[in-house]
């Protein structure tokens, strides 16, 4: 794994961070760093995540990758990410590294600035990449821009909310997942269920439809006032929770857009003397590490991002090795409804 070079000529890596430096930053041994790079199954998930973060932070380039960089015959797959999305990045890296190591392909990672995301992608693609992996929700926005036609390389989208017309994708069925989670809350006796919509995303639209379908299926009427809007960040969850969790709040359950946002709702609810889940039940989405690090632990939907990234990388490499393959066929992976302590039965009125 490495970061993108600035030009199109493939050169050997210059001297930079060492494995020992990565080990010191991650608080592990150099052998553990080696085991992560080589995808040894013996490494604990939390340790793997710490090492991958250190590799990204130090721009560490393993010697094997540096040797591969000099070979024009080595396929080079690019993956873009944002620094703020550490849980998402870690999961994607685990899956993409597993596939590229298994198939003898080089993985190159590059950050992007949300303000210049499209230009960043175009510049990254021009660094002699053979294929590109785009994370959510960036893949949805880039597809809608029409810019993918300017790239001469195949793209695979990770976890978009629907099939995209100009790129293949690997995803869960977000509409079905939201339907299952909403139905479960209804089975627990909840009727006033607030839904947090992720704005300007296909994922948000698909999950909203699942929420609405569950209400219709169970004979409940949607209240538009219970559809709230916020981006899937802890900070924005805090702002929304501060505005909505007021005395006499007319909801018994809240479906947050992701686990970070759900954690923010739990934080504000507890600070305001509300019991979770007795006074208000809260659910997340993704089953990221924070879901089991807070109390109460979160009921959520497990979206297997590492598996999605691995399958997407497999798909992209297969497309490169078989140029005639269909580049727009979506592939689905299973989601899982995870029930924990943040939801309980609602007593009958």
Q: What is the pLDDT of residues 139-174, one digit of tens each?
A: 999 998 989 888 889 999 999 999 999 899 999 999
Q: Is the pLDDT of residue 2 over 70?
A: no
Of the listed ranges 64-68, 74-78, 169-173, 184-188, the least confidently predicted one is 64-68
Residues 11 and 140 occupy one common structural domain: yes
The H-assigned helical ranges of 157-304 are: 174-187, 202-217, 234-244, 259-271
Q: Is the pLDDT of residue 330 over 50?
A: yes
Is 51 within the bounds of a domain? no
Once rounded to an integer, what is the mean pLDDT over residues 65-70?
Answer: 40
The rounded mean pLDDT for the chain is 87
Integer distance in angstroms from the first to the last C-alpha of the chain? 57
Residues 187 and 269 occupy one common structural domain: yes
- DSSP tag of 299: B
Residues 321 and 243 occupy one common structural domain: no
pLDDT band at 33 (very low <50, low <70, confident <90, very high): confident
Residues 275 and 311 occupy one common structural domain: no
The token pair at 252 is: 């018994």
Of 252, 248, 250, 243, the C-alpha closest to 281 is: 252
Percentage of residues of the chain with pLDDT beyond 70: 87
Residues 143 and 6 occupy one common structural domain: yes
Is 249 within the bounds of a domain? yes
Once rounded to an integer, what is the mean pLDDT over residues 125-133?
Answer: 93
Q: Is the pLDDT of residue 72 over 60?
A: no
With beta carbons less than 8 A apart as the criterion, state whether 65 and 2 touch. yes
- DSSP tag of 279: T
- In three-state secondary structure terms, 238 is helix
Residues 251 and 223 occupy one common structural domain: yes
The token pair at 134 is: 């785009």
User: CB within 8 A of 321, min separation 6: which ones?
Assistant: none
Cα dihedral sign for 263, 267, 272, 274? positive
Give the start-end residues of each E strand in 94-240: 106-111, 131-134, 155-158, 168-171, 193-197, 227-229
For residue 312, what is the domain's CATH number? 3.40.50.2300
Q: Is the pLDDT of residue 54 over 70?
A: yes
Total number of domains constituting the chain: 2
With beta carbons less than 8 A apart as the criterion, state whether 343 and 299 touch. yes
Residues 297, 25: Cα–Cα separation, whole Å:
29
Q: Is the pLDDT of residue 332 over 70?
A: yes
* pTM of the model as a whole: 0.78
pLDDT in tens, 182-236: 999 999 999 999 999 999 999 999 999 999 999 999 999 999 999 999 999 999 9
> 193 is in which domain, residue-wise?
174-302
Query: If residue 3 lies in a helix (H) or strand (E), which one and from where to where?
Result: strand 2-3
The token pair at 67 is: 């040797």
């Amino acid at each position: 794994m490495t970061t993108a070079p600035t030009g199109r000529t493939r050169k050997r890596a210059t001297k930079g961070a060492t494995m020992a430096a990565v080990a010191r930053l991650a608080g592990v041994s150099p052998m553990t760093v080696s085991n992560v790079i080589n995808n040894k199954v013996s490494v604990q998930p939390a340790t793997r995540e710490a090492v991958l973060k250190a590799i990204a932070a130090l721009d560490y380039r393993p010697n094997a990758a540096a040797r591969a960089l000099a070979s024009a015959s080595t396929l080079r797959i690019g993956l873009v990410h944002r620094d703020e999305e550490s849980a998402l990045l870690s999961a994607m890296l685990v899956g993409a590294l597993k596939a590229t190591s298994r198939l003898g392909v080089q993985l190159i990672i590059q950050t992007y600035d949300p303000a210049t995301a499209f230009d960043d992608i175009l510049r990254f693609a021009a660094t002699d990449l053979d294929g590109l992996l785009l994370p959510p929700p960036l893949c949805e926005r880039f597809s809608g821009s029409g810019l993918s036609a300017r790239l001469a390389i195949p793209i695979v989208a990770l976890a978009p909310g629907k099939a995209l017309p100009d790129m293949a994708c690997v995803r869960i069925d977000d509409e079905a997942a939201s339907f299952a989670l909403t139905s479960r809350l209804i089975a627990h006796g909840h009727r006033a269920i607030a839904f947090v919509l992720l704005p300007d995303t296909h994922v948000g639209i698909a999950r909203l439809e699942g929420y609405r379908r569950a209400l219709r299926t169970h004979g409940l009427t949607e209240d538009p006032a219970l559809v709230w809007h916020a981006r899937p960040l802890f900070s924005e969850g805090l702002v929304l929770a501060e505005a909505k969790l007021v005395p006499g709040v007319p909801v018994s359950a809240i479906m947050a857009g992701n686990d970070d946002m759900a954690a923010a709702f739990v934080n504000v609810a507890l600070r305001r003397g509300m019991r979770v889940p007795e006074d208000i039940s809260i659910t997340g989405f993704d089953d990221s590490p924070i879901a089991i690090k807070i109390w109460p632990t979160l009921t959520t939907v497990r979206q297997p991002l590492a598996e999605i990234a691995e399958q997407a990388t497999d798909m992209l490499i297969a497309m490169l090795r078989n140029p005639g393959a269909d580049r727009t066929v979506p592939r689905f992976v299973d989601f899982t409804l995870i029930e924990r302590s943040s939801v309980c039965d609602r007593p009958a009125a």
